[in-house]
Chain A
Amino acid sequence: MIEAWRRAGRGNLVPILTVLLIIIGLWYLGAIRMNAQWERDQAARAGIELSLPELVSRTLSQDRPVLPAPHQVAEGLWQGVAGQAVTSRRSLVWHGWVTLSATLAGFAIGTAAGIVLAVGIVHSRAMDQSVMPWAVASQTVPILAIAPMVIVVLASIGVTGLLPKAIIAAWLSFFPVLVGMVKGLRTPDAMQLDQMRSWSAGRGRTFWHLRLPSSLPYLFASLKVAIAAALVGTIVGELPAGATAGLGARLLSGSYYGQTVQIWSALFAAAILAATLVAIVGLLERATLKRMGLAR
């Protein structure tokens, strides 16, 4: 493990750090430039002249900057994670958990739906022709338009909380699973299928012993896309109808009150959460495929 890091480090660390530093540098420049106007206006109103160092230091420490500086976002993130009791309404851990639970529920529903539909599509020509167009159509509708409807309709029949958000998350995450699994379940070649026929294996056996194991590399690739999509779906589901919990609600209340640091902190929390989830799926993928002799 350490050896691997060291090997990776020798070749890659310098370019990775260079890109990171460039991004942070550009971010600081952007923050100074975008926040400067307000400082100049303030100074003009107060009738004082700002030196350049003064201007720069002020632009990087505003309460409600147009663009918060990296260290402000880092501090906001740190405050949100470590500076609060995890049960507090100001804790990013608490909001993150609300979002995570709906994400995982939606991911589970979406994955199950994607797999079931793919199995149907692979085994039935009629389903292939009738379901696939609708699946594609479902993804062309902007989720921003669908999400409020789902929330409102479900709320009107008394369903609130985790489930409506999970449904929106599932809406986004079933599609990559469906496409990946259809492709994966169809990977066995003619010879492998003939082999099964020569043993008088029915569809069920062929599915269980051949199609399903063959599809796993495709499934895992899809799951990585699906779990990130589920997180996006959940956050979008938290935006409408004045939700009060979750990273999406954090984004929304931040924008209501001009709390840009809060918005950016929530954004980064979501990004970190997504990266972690994708990485976990990646680890499962590597372990499983290695065990199955399918790793490349």
Chain B
Amino acid sequence: MDASPLPRNAAIAPAAPVIEARGVSLTFQTADGPVHALKDVDLSIGRGEFVSFIGPSGCGKTTFLRSIAALEAPTGGTLRVNGMAPDAARRARAYGYVFQAPGLYPWRTIAGNISLPLEIMGFSRAERAERIARVLDLVELSGFGAKFPWQLSGGMQQRASIARALAFDADILLMDEPFGALDEIVRDRLNEALLELWRKTGKTIGFVTHSIPEAVYLSTRIVVMSPRPGRITRVIESTLPAERPLDIRDTPEFIALAHEVREGLREGHAHD
């Protein structure tokens, strides 16, 4: 058993982090006064890491992920993605973003949906076809390209949306509660498939979740956050091996990690 918490490709990673946040703050001005969605967040994520963000609503986990994706603009601190400002990184196709809902267009087939970002980015027809076939295979949806979204189950739709985020070869995959709306059994299967996909592709993944087992099962690092103001309270390095069958969740090591995350979450609530 490989005891290393990092995947193989971490060895070839350069020293510079892929995502680096220093003192990132984000304050929304609302009618009821300022809301501190993020306050002094410091975090660096290395190439090939799988980092989960967990915490109660309002802790800023989604806001932080959206800031990395340049969907929100931090009001303080510096945030670099691949050494660039987030919006420059986006233009350089640094990341694919997977939302909570699949957001597939009903008037496009599965292949057509995956093709959409490629069309927008100006890939040639031949290259689009080649990439669509490749990512469909990656999420195990080969043969479903010609189907329409409504012909697929919820889990399959979310897999198609992951394929779409992978199609343009971004190194970073940002996922905002991608399996939050799915039932437990489907979720387990997708978690397994996601780990498999991460091992195969060596992407850097940022993953927002509400679920402690999900965070522990997937991550190399778990970032526990807490609200008012949104901040990081604990960063937990996973001691689990890279190879993770589903029943690893019954091992003492897994249970100990889950306990640590729960402790971290409780800590954040201590003064509530």
Contacts and interface: CB of A to CB of B under 8 A. Distances in A.
Interface in B135-152: 148-150
B101 interface: yes
A195 B97 CA distance: 8
Contacts of B148: 293
22 contacts: A191-B99, A194-B66, A194-B71, A194-B99, A195-B99, A195-B103, A197-B71, A197-B90, A198-B90, A199-B117, A199-B120, A199-B121, A199-B168, A200-B93, A200-B120, A205-B120, A209-B116, A209-B119, A213-B107, A291-B107, A293-B106, A293-B149
Given A194-B99, A195-B97, A293-B149, A201 B106 contact: no
Chain A interface mostly: helix
A200 B103 contact: no
Contacts of A293: 106-107, 148-150
Interface in B73-110: 90-91, 93, 95-97, 99-101, 103, 105-107
Contacts of B100: 191
Contacts of B168: 199
A191 B97 CA distance: 11
B242 interface: no
B111 interface: no
A156 B110 CA distance: 59
A296 to B, nearest CB: 11
Interface string A188-228: 00011011111111000100011001000000000000000
A127 interface: no
Contacts of A199: 116-117, 120-121, 168
A208 to B, nearest CB: 10
A200 B90 contact: yes
A293 B157 CA distance: 15
B120 A191 contact: no
Interface in A12-30: none
A294 B106 contact: yes
Nearest to A199: B117
Nearest to B165: A198
Interface string A268-283: 0000000000000000
Interface in B228-249: none
Sorted nearest first, the 6 A-B pairs with minimum C-beta distance are: A293-B106, A292-B107, A198-B97, A199-B117, A201-B120, A199-B120
Contacts of A192: 103
Interface in A56-111: none
B120 A209 contact: yes
Interface string B59-77: 0000000100111000000
Contacts of B116: 199, 209
Interface residues of A, number: 18
A199 B161 CA distance: 13
Contact of B69 (A198, A201, A210, A292): A198
Interface in A251-296: 291-294
B69 to A, nearest CB: 6
A197 B150 CA distance: 24
Contacts of A191: 99-101, 103
A134 B135 CA distance: 51
A16 to B, nearest CB: 34
Nearest to A191: B99
A293 B97 CA distance: 25
A194 B101 CA distance: 12
A183 B168 CA distance: 33
A292 B150 CA distance: 11
Given A197-B70, A200-B90, A210-B105, 7 more contacts: A194-B66, A197-B90, A198-B96, A200-B93, A200-B120, A209-B119, A293-B149
Contacts of B97: 194-195, 198
B115 to A, nearest CB: 11
A200 B70 CA distance: 10
A197 B116 CA distance: 13
Nearest to A205: B120
B59 to A, nearest CB: 20
Contacts of B91: 200
A285 to B, nearest CB: 14
A216 to B, nearest CB: 9
A195 B93 CA distance: 13
A71 B71 CA distance: 69
Nearest to A213: B107
- Interface hub of A196, A197, A199, A205 (most chain B Cβ within 10 A): A199
A294 B100 CA distance: 21
Contacts of A194: 66, 71, 97, 99
A292 B99 CA distance: 23
Nearest to B119: A209
A205 B105 CA distance: 14
B110 to A, nearest CB: 12
A62 B121 CA distance: 75
Contacts of B90: 197-198, 200
Interface string B106-132: 110000000011011100000000000
